[in-house]
Chain A
Amino acid sequence: MTQAVVTAGSDEVEPGAIIEHGHDTNTGISNSKLAIWLFLSSEALFFGAFISTYFLYRGRDAQFLKGPTPDKLLNIPFTSVTSFVLLMSSLTMVLALAAIQRGDHTRLRIWLLATCLFGATFVGGQVYEFTEFYRKGLHLGTNMFGTTFFVLTGLHGAHVTIGIIWLLLLWGRSMQGRLPTEKSEAIEIAGLYWHFVDVVWIFIFTAIYLIPTH
């Protein structure tokens, strides 16, 4: 059997292949990673539907601004801080992956917990914001802004919450010594999900908070 290096995306072949580890797949790349990328691709369509709905109704529907209006409700400085927190959680997530890949399990656990803490802070901020809006009279059915805002940001918040639970489970596995360096892909996959949730927020933050509604 000839040994060679195969470049994914090209047919470049070099002699002297190095097999590092792993199980066999049809593609030569991890099935789990393939699955998470496919899932994230479908999530792009999922969130795209809600972001599009928000823009579709925005400014084109008389009911959109009936009742409390976004310019009176949205607290940009506050949401900027929570956005910053979510961005920082992406950094700690990728640092957790770097830690397990070099076999530093203590730092892995620290960065995982930091990511969970940042994520929980973001969700806490969202809960506070929702409560404030509710007190000011914006409900799910008040107007189309309320409907599209609560559904879009609520679904995103649910994704962040799922991510926190996922990371806490991985942290627990690591604490029990059931997450060795060879299984770093488990962290990589959770990280891909987490970064995707961050990426979605980048667009939600711009669409709802930063682009003027008038």
Chain B
Amino acid sequence: MTEGTDLVTLDPDATPAVPGGGALVPAGDHLPVVEGPHHPGPRQYVLIAVVLVILTGVEVATSYLDGHVNSNLLIVALAIMAFVKFFLVAAWYMHMKQDSNLFRRMFVGGITLACIVYGIVFLFFSSTTLKS
């Protein structure tokens, strides 16, 4: 089985059930839910955990460089490491690499929407003095 695939029974007269989703069924019909793709094994999971722990260690060590290096550089480095950790957990532990693309689109869509919405909030308040 290839990565990111679902197995379904297909009718020859099928029409797309989910635009871009790839699953095809006649209008009104339902598809059987099938077994998900093969997930990585325990060894790969442990390997990912080791990488995550090392990254966390590097993150914490980097935070102690405050005052010795440019703080903007520090923030960028910490943000990159946080995103790498996020990617590793989402891709491997949450199986986004192996599962249906629809899940990935849904999740990434939510995060993108959050970034856009809060980006606008930041832009809106960037020239405003906040009062508590």
By a CB distance below 8 angstroms, the chain B residues around A23 are 32-33
For window 80-111 of A, CB contacts with B under 8 Å fall at 80, 83-84, 87-88, 90-91, 93-95, 97-98, 101
Residues of B whose CB lies within 8 Å of any CB of A are 1-2, 4-12, 17-18, 20-25, 29-36, 39, 41-42, 45-46, 48-49, 52-53, 56, 59-60, 62-63, 66, 71, 74-75, 78-79, 81-82, 85-86, 89-90, 92-94, 99-103, 106-107, 109-111, 113-115, 117-118, 121-122, 125, 129-132
CB-CB nearest in chain A for B75: A211
Asked if residues B21 and A199 are in contact (CB atoms below 8 Å), the reply is: no
Take A6-B22, A9-B4, A202-B85 as given contacts and tell me if A41 and B106 are in contact as well, using a CB distance cutoff of 8 Å: yes
Chief secondary structure at chain A's binding surface: helix
Asked if residues B93 and A195 are in contact (CB atoms below 8 Å), the reply is: yes
Choose among B6, B23, B49 the residue that contacts A88 (Cβ–Cβ < 8 A). Answer: B49
- Report the minimum CB–CB distance from B44 to chain A (whole Å): 10
- Report the minimum CB–CB distance from A108 to chain B (whole Å): 13
Asked if residues B114 and A29 are in contact (CB atoms below 8 Å), the reply is: no
Asked if residues B107 and A13 are in contact (CB atoms below 8 Å), the reply is: no
Choose among A28, A48, A76, A206 the residue that contacts B17 (Cβ–Cβ < 8 A). Answer: A28
Highest count of chain B CB atoms <10 Å: which of A1, A64, A77, A94: A94
**How many pairs, one residue from A and one from B, have CB atoms within 8 Å of each other in the complex?**
242
By a CB distance below 8 angstroms, the chain B residues around A22 are 32-35
Per-position binary interface string of chain A over residues 22-59, scored 1 when its CB falls under 8 Å from any chain B CB and 0 otherwise: 11111111110110011011111100110110011100
Q: Does A176 contact B (CB under 8 A)?
A: no
CB-CB nearest in chain B for A87: B52
Per-position binary interface string of chain A over residues 111-151, scored 1 when its CB falls under 8 Å from any chain B CB and 0 otherwise: 00000000000000000000000000000000110010000
Take A28-B17, A199-B86 as given contacts and tell me if A56 and B10 are in contact as well, using a CB distance cutoff of 8 Å: no
- Report the minimum CB–CB distance from B14 to chain A (whole Å): 9
By a CB distance below 8 angstroms, the chain A residues around B48 are 91
Whole-angstrom distance between the alpha carbons of A212 and B70 in the complex?
Answer: 11
Asked if residues B90 and A199 are in contact (CB atoms below 8 Å), the reply is: yes
Take A42-B110, A206-B59 as given contacts and tell me if A56 and B23 are in contact as well, using a CB distance cutoff of 8 Å: no
- Report the minimum CB–CB distance from B31 to chain A (whole Å): 3
Residues of A in contact with B, size category = 35 or more
19 further A-B contacts with Cβ under 8 Å, apart from A8-B22, A76-B60, A206-B82, are A8-B102, A9-B4, A11-B22, A17-B7, A20-B35, A22-B33, A28-B25, A28-B32, A34-B103, A48-B111, A51-B118, A56-B121, A60-B130, A83-B56, A91-B49, A94-B92, A98-B45, A195-B89, A209-B63
Q: Does A63 contact B (CB under 8 A)?
A: yes
By a CB distance below 8 angstroms, the chain B residues around A77 are 60
Whole-angstrom distance between the alpha carbons of A125 and B81 in the complex?
Answer: 24
Whole-angstrom distance between the alpha carbons of A24 and B9 in the complex?
Answer: 11
Choose among A28, A51, A57, A88 the residue that contacts B8 (Cβ–Cβ < 8 A). Answer: A28
CB-CB nearest in chain B for A64: B132
By a CB distance below 8 angstroms, the chain B residues around A166 are none
By a CB distance below 8 angstroms, the chain A residues around B63 are 76, 209-212
- Report the minimum CB–CB distance from A147 to chain B (whole Å): 8
- Report the minimum CB–CB distance from A127 to chain B (whole Å): 22
